[in-house]
Amino acid sequence: MHRLFRGIVTGAFVALAGCTTVQPFDPVADKLSSSDLTLATQTFREICLDTLPDFSQVNAVATAREFEPLSIPGQGRFAAQTYRTNLKSVIALTARFDESTPVCGVAFLGPDDDKRVQEAFVATTTRALGGQPRAKLRASQDDAAYHLRNQSTMIFEARAKSDGASHYVYLTPPVSREEAERIVAP
């Protein structure tokens, strides 16, 4: 499931690379500053956490924030909605990979600092949902996964690139612990 999601997001990054208004990520000049990480976590909160339990309001929130819709080849196959949120290649999207589980997420380019990114997103969900995650899940293909206070599942992935790392943070609607484990370790 996550490889397909990454494929859509990778397509969006390729599309963004061709835009003249978007500068490529430069690991020497572009560090994952506090404000960039704040933008990524704020986007995650507004697009994903604030549209729980079913992410049905993502388009309304993205439109209100004046995010630019992106059309990526193949995204229709997953009922995906993709948005460019800023000039640093932060992308927000929703997709549906099966009939029962929609997924919301953000993806962004940044340096290799997985721990800092995960800590920032866990802190964001802790504030938004009123408590620490219920459990850290064993995630065979992902960097980390948590079953959250509201029973949603949050999944982290980071993939090294020549110019930094692609960070992916996904959120599911509330699901049982067993379903969460199935999602992250199929």
Give residue-wise pLDDT tens across range 113-157: 788 889 999 999 999 999 999 999 988 766 899 999 999 999 998
Asked whether 52 and 77 are in contact (CB, 8 A), the reply is no
Bigger pLDDT: 183 vs 3: 183
Backbone dihedral angles phi then psi of residue 170, each to the nearest 5 degrees: -115, 155
Q: DSSP string of 85-116?
A: -STT--EEEEEESSSS-EEEEEEEEE-S-HHH
Q: Give residue for tokens 């206070």.
A: 149
Q: What is the pLDDT of residue 95?
A: 81
Please tell me the pTM assigned to this model.
0.80
The predicted model gives 36-49 an average pLDDT of 90
Q: At 163, list the tokens.
A: 């110019």
Question: What share of the chain in percent tops pLDDT 90?
Answer: 35
Peptide bond into 27 cis (omega under 30): no
Structure tokens at 33: 């500053």
Whole-number mean pLDDT of the chain?
78
Using CA atoms, how far apart are residues 96 and 103, in angstroms rounded to an integer? 6
Winning range, highest mean pLDDT, from 6-20, 30-44, 95-109, 139-153:
139-153
Q: CA 110, CA 37: separation in Å to the nearest integer? A: 9
Beta strands in the chain (DSSP E): 68-70, 81-84, 91-96, 102-110, 135-137, 144-147, 153-161, 164-171
